[in-house]
Structure 1
């Protein structure tokens, strides 16, 4: 006869499982989804729109678990070689966790997707499915954009899609310079961050944009895209554009002066802080304009 598990032990185990799933979702990077979603809502001229709340909730744990859970499932070989994994920068999963992660991704995302199909305009649903699909197939075969140079970087433009999804879902006009600017910014950011993993990716037989171009070439690639984003942001806000230029310029110049994966690892904290700093400036100016009645 099996002895029932004590209630306290069951709660501890469940809490541990939830904490593990949160770790896998990389909370330090949630700013790229929920932050962008909130900014997309504010750009419609609404401080808070009740219709946007389900989307904003989805852009926290559920969607980030989809992005990084799927990534961890298919990147186990590379992650095993990567000293960054197992920290706040990303989990290093064990094969026995694959089933748990797959079920967690499904359980946390499918109800939202069903709701969106029922409640949101068709164009918004199409964009949401595109958004989710790009990140699934960034890591998963048969497309696996991660292992396709240039497509790996270009596919990560999808990080900018919440600036389009939220207005379309709320039936408001998108602010196109902001949307396209963030798409370009995201292309640059992905390639730049991949420089630190060049050695591990090469050893695992994965040819990313960073592996193909090398640190110096990747700095130039990212710099070009960040310059495009700066020009587009300047059409909306010169202060935001200047902050973007200063941070991007620091990252690019430093990499050009010391082109090596070690430089990417050293600068990664600044790269992580980049969206927090630029997003705070953009959000602060936008909210101030809304409260003063200047925007929209």
Structure 2
């Protein structure tokens, strides 16, 4: 009896599952979580006008970030033992066309809708957000291959704190937005410590490669102190929690400044926005519920 191949439904499910894996769901907190907090900072628990943007910040935008990244990082990813796990996909050249089409198909309808429905300032912030993350990986700009620019460009992770208020016709809470920008600069360099060997061998000079693990601990520590000072203007408890977690990460890396230590600390670094974001979220929701915010 001839064996039957996978059904069209199974093939579709396999493709969708693969694209979800490429989008790194464990890191969606950096986009959707920031977007939700951006809504809460306007003083509303939810606004129906925010839903299209929040939906875009799930699979579509994360597939844009990490799909483009995987296309341009195939050489380094092939030698990186972290890839092929929850920490990131390892793609084959045959998948490039599928990923490129998928990125376009899931993002373009949202961008067209935003162009028609949102205020110009929100549209500008959204376009800046997409531009930075496309050219973080893509040539000819490829920010990730330029030391310090790679880290500084990750300030864009905070843009949902600007996009959501502007989309709802409200002024952003700038200490929170700028605080998250500086926080993101620190976290990018810190997370890149674990990839120093692979990046150096591939000829990519990141901030982490240039500074080395000890230098990154000092660089990231300084940015995290600044971010905590900015967060304190909005919420002292959030600032304290953020500073405590940052302190643990920085001190442990200083004690054993190696890429291996960076890799061992990566799970805590991934948990960092979940922990600090949970504190911020609970305080915001309670404040809104009891009429104490804004």
TM-score (norm 1): 0.97
State how many pairs are aligned: 291
Q: Deviations over 1:200-241 (max 9, x none)?
A: 000000000000000000111101110000000011111100
Give 1:87 deviation, angstroms.
Answer: 0.2
For residues 26 and 281 of structure 1, the distance between their equivalents in structure 2, rounded to whole angstroms, comes to 23
What is the 5 A alignment of 1:58-73?
A: 58-73=56-71
- Structure 1 stretches lacking a partner, 5+ long: none
Pick the aligned partner of 1:147 from 122, 145, 148.
Answer: 145
Pick the aligned partner of 1:91 from 66, 89, 92.
Answer: 89
- 2:31 aligned residue: 33
- 2:12 aligned residue: 14
For residues 257 and 180 of structure 1, the distance between their equivalents in structure 2, rounded to whole angstroms, comes to 30
- 1:292 aligned residue: 290
What is the CA RMSD across the aligned residues, in angstroms?
0.9
- 1:116 aligned residue: 114
Pick the aligned partner of 1:173 from 149, 171, 174.
Answer: 171
- 1:46 aligned residue: 44
Q: Deviations over 1:227-277 (max 9, x none)?
A: 000000011111100000000000001111100000000000000000000
Asked if residue 208 in structure 1 is aligned to residue 206 in structure 2, the reply is: yes
Asked if residue 199 in structure 1 is aligned to residue 190 in structure 2, the reply is: no
3-state secondary structure, aligned to 2:63: helix
Q: Which runs of 4+ in 1 moved over 4 A?
A: none
- 1:100 aligned residue: 98
Q: Deviations over 1:174-218 (max 9, x none)?
A: 111000000000000000000000000000000000000000001
- Structure 2 stretches lacking a partner, 5+ long: none
For residues 128 and 98 of structure 1, the distance between their equivalents in structure 2, rounded to whole angstroms, comes to 25
- 1:55 aligned residue: 53
Give 1:173 deviation, angstroms.
Answer: 1.4
- 2:219 aligned residue: 221
TM-score (norm 2): 0.98
What is the 5 A alignment of 1:209-288?
A: 209-288=207-286
